[in-house]
């Protein structure tokens, strides 16, 4: 029995020893885990505090950035010219005074084109420019206004000085052919008309240009006599408006014209920007002449001899179409170019010392069925049988010519 008991005791002892060791290790592990967990929790707490601190700093930075961005956007959206009243006033002075100077200069050119020299007006303009360069806008503006007043007075003197020569024949009927200088009497007064008549049965009417295709700046020009000679024409005159180099507003588009023209070579100038043109036009067919109130009514037929557009339309279907407006270039008196018809007779010429509306009335009085205004002023030029009857004027970009068939 003793060995068995001993064996049992030995096993029990061993069991307890193992149990003790297990409990000891478990307790130590638990203690270790608890201690480590506490340490981790402390580290997590520290990290959390740092994250919260970083988040707070980030929010502060974000708020600052938002404020700066808002301030930047406000600054960027501000129009400093509008906010700076002094600069705004200065820019307004520059703009208004420059506009006055351009207008005054062009009006001075027109006055000089009427004849005579005006050194005092030249000096006034020079003084105005000097003030302008010194940024003395009020003095410059005063000089320019004085200049404009003197220009108007100069025009009135020219208008008052114009007298129809006693040798000019009085007649309200246009000539059947050839050149005529005549006095036409209307219900508003007497007017001198220089007019050339041609019949389409024996005359071909063409429009000639120096440019061979569309030109928008520094376009070629030449005098009327050159056009006459190269086409062997017996008569002709200046054509549609163009932008002469002497006008400041023509910078960048010198000697260009933007109206619809088909020249003798069958090329249509400015075709694309005249698709919807409301300016009138004249079509010269082989045996007819046709006026249209709007160039947009005419296609791009090259079967005709030539086409020219200008403005305004003066007479259409035996009725006056232009009665005046507020444009000083049309209300002032001067030579008024025209192309007109009565049946198969075509007429070119000038109504002298007339406003635009007076020109329309004169042509209606003469029995014209249709009439369209042409360029005049410094461009005015009229040629007949070997010589200038008016002009030569400045070099031209386009002309109307009469050629014997």
Bridge partner residues of 207 (DSSP): 400
96: how many CB neighbours lie within 10 A of its CB? 14
Per-residue pLDDT 10s for the chain (405 aa) are: 434 444 444 545 544 555 455 545 455 554 544 555 555 455 545 444 544 554 454 455 445 546 655 665 665 555 554 556 666 666 676 778 778 888 888 898 889 888 878 999 999 999 988 988 888 888 989 999 999 999 999 999 999 999 999 999 999 999 999 999 999 999 999 999 999 999 999 999 999 999 999 999 999 999 999 999 999 999 999 999 999 999 989 999 999 999 999 999 999 999 999 999 999 999 999 899 999 999 999 999 999 999 999 999 999 999 999 999 999 889 999 999 999 999 999 999 999 999 999 999 999 999 999 999 999 999 999 999 999 999 999 999 999 999 999
pLDDT for the residue numbered 299: 93
Strand intervals (E) in 187-305:
189-199, 203-209, 235-238, 261-262, 268-269, 281-284, 289-292
Pairing relation of β-strands 178-186 and 169-170? parallel
| Main-chain phi, psi angles of 205, to 5 degrees | -105, 125
Is this structure's pTM higher than 0.95?
no
3-state class of 169 per DSSP?
Answer: strand
What is the predicted pLDDT for the residue at 330?
94
Name the β-bridge partners of 269. Answer: 261
Structural tokens at position 340: 């007109």
Is the C-alpha dihedral spanning 371, 198, 285, 386 positive or negative? negative
pLDDT of residue 368: 98
């Amino acid at each position: 029995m003793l060995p068995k008991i001993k064996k049992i005791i030995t096993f029990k002892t061993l069991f307890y020893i193992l149990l003790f060791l297990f409990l000891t290790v478990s307790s130590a592990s638990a203690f270790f885990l608890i201690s480590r967990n506490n340490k981790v929790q402390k580290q997590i707490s520290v990290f959390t505090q740092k994250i919260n601190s970083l988040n707070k700093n980030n929010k502060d930075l974000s708020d600052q950035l938002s404020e700066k961005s808002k301030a930047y956007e406000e600054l960027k959206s501000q129009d400093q010219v509008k906010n700076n009243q002094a600069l705004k006033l200065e820019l307004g002075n520059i703009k208004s005074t420059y506009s006055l100077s351009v207008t005054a200069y062009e009006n001075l050119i027109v006055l000089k084109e009427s004849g005579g020299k005006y050194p005092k007006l030249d000096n006034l303009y020079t003084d105005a420019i000097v003030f302008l360069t010194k940024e003395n806008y009020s003095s410059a503006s005063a000089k320019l206004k004085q200049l404009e007043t003197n220009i108007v007075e100069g025009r009135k003197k020219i208008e008052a000085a114009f007298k129809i020569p006693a040798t000019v024949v009085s007649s309200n009927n246009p000539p059947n052919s050839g050149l005529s200088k005549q006095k036409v009497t209307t219900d508003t007064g007497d007017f001198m008309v220089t007019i050339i008549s041609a019949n389409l049965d024996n005359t071909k009417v063409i429009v000639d240009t120096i440019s061979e295709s569309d030109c928008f700046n520094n376009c070629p020009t030449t005098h009327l006599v050159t056009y006459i000679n190269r086409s062997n024409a017996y008569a002709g005159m200046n054509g549609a408006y163009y932008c002469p180099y002497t006008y400041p507003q023509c910078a960048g588009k010198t000697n260009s014209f933007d109206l619809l023209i088909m020249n003798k070579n069958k090329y249509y100038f400015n075709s694309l920007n005249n698709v919807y043109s409301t300016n009138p036009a004249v079509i010269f067919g082989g045996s007819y002449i046709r006026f249209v109130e709007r160039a947009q009514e005419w296609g791009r037929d090259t079967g005709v001899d030539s086409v020219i557009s200008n403005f305004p339309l003066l007479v259409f279907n035996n009725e006056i179409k232009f009665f005046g407006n507020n444009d000083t270039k049309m209300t002032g008196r001067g030579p008024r170019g025209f192309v007109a018809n009565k049946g198969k007779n075509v007429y070119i010429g000038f109504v002298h010392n007339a406003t635009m509306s007076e020109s329309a009335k004169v042509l209606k009085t003469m029995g014209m069925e249709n009439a369209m205004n042409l360029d005049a002023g410094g461009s005015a030029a009229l040629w007949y049988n070997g010589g200038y009857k008016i002009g030569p004027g400045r070099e031209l970009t386009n002309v109307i010519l009469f050629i014997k068939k």
